[in-house]
Each structure stands twice: as structure tokens, then as C-alpha cells.
Structure 1
Amino acid sequence: MITIDTEYLKTTLLKLLDIPSPTGYTDEIVHAVGRELERMGVPFELTRRGAIRATLKGAQPKLDRAIVSHLDTLGAMVRELKPNGRLGIMMIGHWSARFAEGARVTIFTDKRSFRGTIQPLKASGHVYNDEIDTQPVSWDNLEVRIDEKLSTREDLEALGFNVGDFIAVDSSPELTSSGFIKARHLDNKAGVACQLTTIKAIVDAGITLPVTCHPLFTISEEEGTGASSILHGDVAAMVAIDNSTVAPGQNSREDSVTIAMRDQGAIYDYHLTHRLISLCEDNAIPYVRDVFRHYRSDAASALSAGNDIRTGLICFGLDASHGHERTHIDSLIAISRLLCAYLQSTPRIKHDSNKLGPLEGFPMLSVNKKTR
């Protein structure tokens, strides 16, 4: 019987949140996840840039599945060494400068790292009075105050700072007694933790899956490429794990699975999506459906790259995505349960074993005929 190790899920999430991994600076977290897969005895391979493709061997050839989450997070990059000894910055990923203000950060130069804080240009009411409230929200109006004795551009150069240095934002996690988890970068380290927890559950149970599954861990989702080049040729279906947007006008919840019907990058496969819905209903896994207008996932990147696969997207509920994020442990447990149920289920569309095939065996959507 499959058991979800909740303590492993929490501990793994906290470990992942402690590793800086803005897009483009992901080597450390790739090594960390690789070591964890090695510890569990799960074989894997790396692409040239560090995306991970693991393998859970199944009983049936072809009809492989993939599940995917991304290791990279939001962050920033140095764009200017300023005359005042501070750093001008630009975003990595897509997030508002509003949520960067006050963030504590680590700056990685070519030879060492430094600590600092992202500040608005007008940071003190004692100096600027009401101007601190009228300064526009813009990355051009932010700078990094470094925790060193610096007052000139020459001071920055002497310590080895350069344009293009990476900046990682502290996650500052907190787990509440009511089960909420608050941190930056829950997108998508919570998804990675769910994926690793699912792998552990299957390995610990000694289950042979009906078909081979490839757990994928990508490194550039926040910049839009994601799972565009890591898929195995026999993969017929892929389920991405990411966050859903809990907000007015959305249907997502912080304590459930959200099954995405579409986002701005993809309309998700009808048959796969409804199979996931059925698995939730059959296993009493709480779920809702939602659509996302300003969002794209690893699965959307795979489709954009020309991969002919069925795709789905399941999400943990996330309040204030790309800001001061919050989810609930119940949502992460539900995601892990759904992944376990999906990987143990037998594929129904045998036609998918062919990259190209006849009409026979191709599924037909069932609809109710209108009565006249």
C-alpha cells in the first residue's frame, strides 16, 4: 500500500527552500536532487545544462509517462554598478518590483558571495517624507544595498562585483501550527518536494508501475523554456506539477488539488485531464478545476517546442504567487496522493503507443445528443 510520508515532504521542502536557485544559477539544487535520487536508488540522466530525467521502470514498454516540476525560481541579476556603491538590478523570471522591495538577498560574484537587501531608491521617510509613497513601482527604482563598507563604483569593482552577477532572494519559510506554509519560492519547490515524496512512496512500497515513468526536473521554467528539450521519445503523456493562483475570480483553493483546464500557453488534453479528475473522485482526493489567464507551465513549454504528447497540469493552491506566497500542507499531500494514483493507473488509450497510427483505436469524445 502507498503511504505519503508527510514528514519527509515537509523536511524536503525546507531543504529545497534553503538552496538558492534563480534561473541560470541552478547547479547546486541539481546536485542536491541528484543525490536524493541516488539515495533512493532511482537512475537518472542530466542534460548538458542540468535538467534531470529520472526513470521508474514499468511493466509495459512504450506508453511512457512523465511527471515534471521545475527547480529554478525567481531572482534578479546585476545590471549596473552604481556610483553610490550599490547595485542596479533587473528581474529573473517575471515578478513585480513591489515584492522585491525589502527582500534579503545573496549576490554571487565570480569568486564569492555577499549579503544584501533590495531597497527602493527612496527608502527613508525621514529623508524623503511623502515621496516614499509616490515613487513608482519599477525595477529601475530599486537597488541592492550590500552589507560591506562600500560607497563608490570603484569599491564595488575592488570586491569583484560585475554586471551579470546573480542575485538569489531569501525564501524565509515558516510552517504554522494550522498547517500553512509561507515562503518565497514555493513556486515550484513545493512541487519538487511533492514529486520527490511521490517517488519515495513508490520506491518504499516496492511497486512495479504499469508503464515506465520519467520524473523530470527542469531548470528554466521561469524564463519560459521549461520542459522543451528533455522528453524521452517514448513519452506519450506528461503531467506538470506547479502552483495555482488563489485569488478573487479564480477557482483554486489552498487546501486542494487544482486541475488546470488551460493557461495562456496551452489547452490541456481533455482525456488526460478527465482521467486525473476521475482519479481524484475515485480516491477521495479534494480537487477543483481552474483556468489561468496569465500563466504558463512546463507542459505548455513542451507543447510549444513541438512535442506530440498529451499534457496535464495539476497544482497546489498558492496564495500571492510570485509574491509573498502561502500554501497548505493538505494541498501538497493531495498532490502527492494524486501523483501516486496516476502512476499506478493503467493507460487506457492504446493508440498513444504509436507516434503515428490509424483512425482505429483513436478516442472519441462522448457527448449527449440533443433531443428534438
Structure 2
Amino acid sequence: MRLSIDIDYLLGQLRTLLAIDSPTGFTDSIVRHTAREVERLGLEVELTRRGAIRARRPGLQRRPARAVVSHLDTLGAQVKSIRDSGRLDLVPIGNWSARFAEGARVTIYSERGNYRGTILPLKASGHTYNEEVDSAPVGWRHIEVRVDALTRSKEDTRHLGIEIGDMVAIDPVPEFMENGFIVSRHLDNKAGVALMLAALEAMQREKIETPVDSYWLFTIEEEVGVGAASVLVPEIAAMVAIDNGTTAPGQNSDEFGVTIAMADQTGPFDYHLTKKLVELCRTYEIRFQKDIFRFYRSDSASAIAAGHDVRTALATFGVDASHGYERIHAHALRSIAELVTAYLCSDVLIQRDAEETAGLEGFTRQPNREADQSLTAETEDPIGEVE
């Protein structure tokens, strides 16, 4: 079943999420917003100690439950040191280039209060440095934050209450265009959160009954590799992560439709779950393409690394210039939201997944015979069970 997605609700949630600063380690506000919205939609919310969100939507059976996950945290920075000039040296939160930090407006979160500022190269004035502005090296050691307060020395800045370790949030500067393109920082992964909320809204609005419980997970430390390590429960047998896919030369991702990841730097995703997502896209005529990401990991990788024995897959929305000034299209967000509803409504075919361990009976099979070359590309593959 492919449900109709309220695109106005989806984009409204994305606007709201982008307006809430949430660099990794500073996510309380966005956790509160998201938890309240999930509660408003009718689900009970559980929070881990640090704030990862888990909400269960009851189905006809508790096992083998399915989960969908996105992360609330974004890239950011922290104050590494205070320069003699009173300006701030930075260390990044997450993996992103200082090339994209130059010129950004920021908020510095100190215990005494918030300050605004701008990230600048050390040689920022062409009237002073002339061509040296263009030849300056790129790197976190070569930029600084100019605080918008009266400070001309290290002592002045410390007097403001700014200290080493203070969080620095980067302004997203979002633009929602009439042609459906969205340009902003932090679309990774607030767009994923917004489309998950839109999928949940559609299922609640239509009072959809699913064959098994579904879990709606929102993590808070994906950008530093923790992700879904500690938010799963034993009932969950399969988890679909929602995140960004990189549109770049050599990649097959696209800003339209669903990009289904076949593998990332940690290896292939679950064969049967991934195959099921592909088949659902074909059945419900959801545009899709496949891709492999060599320098990328998501919430699914952290769950597996933490020892959770769950099937994992990754559905992505194509992002141009990931971890920079990112661009996506609303078509991809709607497409993934539709796929989420189709997946959660679909029949469970691997019944043995209800138990964490079981015998060989009912275990899955993968294709293991010579291809029939008379089959066309449209012919359904009769081999292999899928989740």
C-alpha cells in the first residue's frame, strides 16, 4: 500500500527542524520538538538517557518488528582555543571541510548566553592582503570565528563567558524554491526526519493497520559514528535507515526518486531487505535507482557494529554537495516517504525472524542458478525470499 504524503506538512516540518540548532552533542531542543510532534501524531515516546527517541506503533503482531531510523544531529564545531586577538579557533564536529565553513554565520553557545559570529579565513580582507586572500591554504587551522561582541583580546573574550569546548552551531541558510529544489546546510539528515514524520502522519491519518509493530527511531550522534548503537530493542528484526545519497561524478544517486544503497564503506546491506525495497518501488511505481557509497556510513552501520542482529537497508535522497551547501528535491523526500509506508504495510515473508535464533527451517535463500536469458528486465525474479 502506497499512501498519499502531505507534502506541505513534510516541508513545514523540514523548515522547523532546520531552524533548530542541533550539532552533535547539543541536541536537546530538537529532541524535544521531535518527541512532541511524534506524541501529537499519537505515539508514545521513549527517550534514552542522552535523548535518542524510540516510538512504537502497534501492529497485529509484536514480532518480527520493523524499524525506520533517521538522525537528528548535524555537523558543527567547538571552540578549540581563544586567540590572542579574541577570535576563536575551531575544531569540527563530524567530518566536514573547512572550505565550507568559510563565510558561515554561527551561534556560539556559552554558559553565560549565546553570541553570534562569522567564520572567516585568517586573511579575510582583500584590501589588506590582496592576492594572498586567494592563495591562503584551506583547513581548520586557517580559519577563525569573529565574535559579534566587543572583544579585542583573549581576556575580553573570556570575560564574555566564552570558553574552550563551547558549542558552535552553523546557520543552515535554507531556501525552498518553487521548482521543488531545497538548498540548505544540514539537510543531512533533517530532511530524513521530516519525511519520516510525514510518513507517520499519513499512516495515522489513514488509520493504517500493519502486520507487525513498527518502531520510529531518531538518533542523536550519527555524525560521530554512534547513531543507532543503543536505541534498538530485541523485537526489531529489520531496520531501514533514511539518510542522504551523494550525487557526484561516479555515483548513480539522483535528486529525484529513491536512491537505494546496495553497500557502504562497511559492506553490503542485507540482501533480502534491500531486494524487498526495490520490489516495492517497482510494484508501486516509485522512481528509484541503486548506488554504492565508498566513503559513507549511516545509522545501520552503527547498529550492526554495536552487535544488533538485525537486517538493515538504506534508502536515501540524492544530495548535491553533501556536508556543504546541500541541495535536494522535494520529489525524493516524497518518494521515500511513500516507500516507507509501502514497506511498513507489506506482508512479512521471513517469519523465522520473529525469533533471534532458530533452526534451518524457514531460513532464506539467495539466487544460485544460471540466469534464464529469455527473461526480460520486467519479468519478476521468482527466486529468493525477502523480508
Per the normalisation by structure 2, the TM-score is 0.94
Supply the AA of the counterpart residue of 1:179: G
* Structure 1 residue aligned with 2:186: 185
Contact 2:3 2:342 in 1 (8 A): no
Q: How far has the Cα of 1:136 moved from its partner?
A: 1.2
Alignment of 1:161-176 (within 5 A): 161-176=162-177
What is aligned with 2:365? 364
Question: Which residues of 2 match residues 272-283 of structure 1 at below 5 A?
Answer: 272-283=273-284
User: Which position in structure 2 is the counterpart of 1:102?
Assistant: 103
Question: Aligned to 1:281, what secondary structure does the other structure show?
Answer: helix
In the alignment, the residues of structure 1 paired with residue 39 and residue 228 of structure 2 have an alpha-carbon distance, to the nearest angstrom, of 22
Q: What amino acid is aligned across from residue 363 of structure 2 in structure 1?
A: F
Q: CA deviation at 1:265?
A: 2.2
In structure 2, what is the Cα distance between the partners aligned to 1:46 and 1:277?
A: 32
Q: Please, which runs of 5 or more residues in structure 2 have no aligned partner? A: 373-387
User: What residue is the counterpart of 1:254 in the other structure?
Assistant: 255
Question: Deviation digits for residues 115-143 of structure 1, max 9, x if unmatched?
Answer: 00000101111111111122111101010
User: What amino acid maps onto 1:94 in structure 2?
Assistant: N
Spell out, residue by residue over 1:249-299, the C-alpha distance to the aligned partner (whole angstroms, 9 max, x if none): 000000110000010124200000000000000001000000001100000
Q: Distance in 2 between matches of 1:224 and 1:13?
A: 23
Matches within 5 A, 1:210-225: 210-225=211-226
Mapping of residues 327-338 of structure 1, within 5 Å:
327-338=328-339
Q: Is the 8 A contact 2:121 2:144 kept in 1?
A: yes
Q: CA deviation at 1:106?
A: 0.4
1:232 match: 233
Deviation at 1:110, TM superposition (A): 0.8
Q: 2: CA distance between counterparts of 1:348 and 1:188?
A: 30
User: Matched residue of 1:289: which SS?
Assistant: strand
Q: Deviations over 1:30-54 (max 9, x none)?
A: 0000110121111110000000001
Instruction: Give me the TM-score of the superposition, normalised by structure 1.
Output: 0.98
Cα deviations by residue, 1:324-359 (Å, 9 ceiling, x for unpaired):
100000000001000000010111111211211111
1:322 is displaced (CA, Å) by 0.2
Deviation at 1:229, TM superposition (A): 0.7
Structure 1 residue identity aligned to 2:346: S
Counterpart in the other structure of 1:54? 55
Aligned residue type for 1:166: M
What residue is the counterpart of 2:25 in the other structure?
24
In the alignment, what sits opposite 2:385? none
2-structure distance, mates of 1:242, 1:336: 12
Identity score, percent: 53
Residue identity in the other structure for 1:367: N
- After superposition, residues 1-372 of structure 1 pair within 5 angstroms as 2-369=3-370
Deviations 1:21-80 (A, max 9, x none): 000000000000011012111111000000000111010121011100000000000010
Counterpart residue identity of residue 37, structure 2: E
Deviation per CA, 1:180-215: give whole Å up to 9, x if none. Answer: 000000000000001000111101111111100110
**C-alpha separation between the residues in 1 aligned to 2:57 and 2:4?**
17
Aligned 8 A contact 1:52 1:217 in 2: yes
Secondary structure, counterpart of 2:211 in structure 1: strand
Q: After TM superposition, give the deviation of residue 156 of structure 1 in Å.
A: 0.6
- The number of aligned residues is 371
Displacement of 1:369 after TM fit?
A: 2.7
CA distance in 1, matches of 2:57, 2:143: 46
Using the alignment, how far apart are the partners of 1:79 and 1:5 within structure 2? Answer: 43
Aligned-partner SS, 1:177: coil
Helix, strand or coil for the counterpart of 2:229?
coil
Q: Deviations over 1:68-104 (max 9, x none)?
A: 0000000000010111011000100100000000000
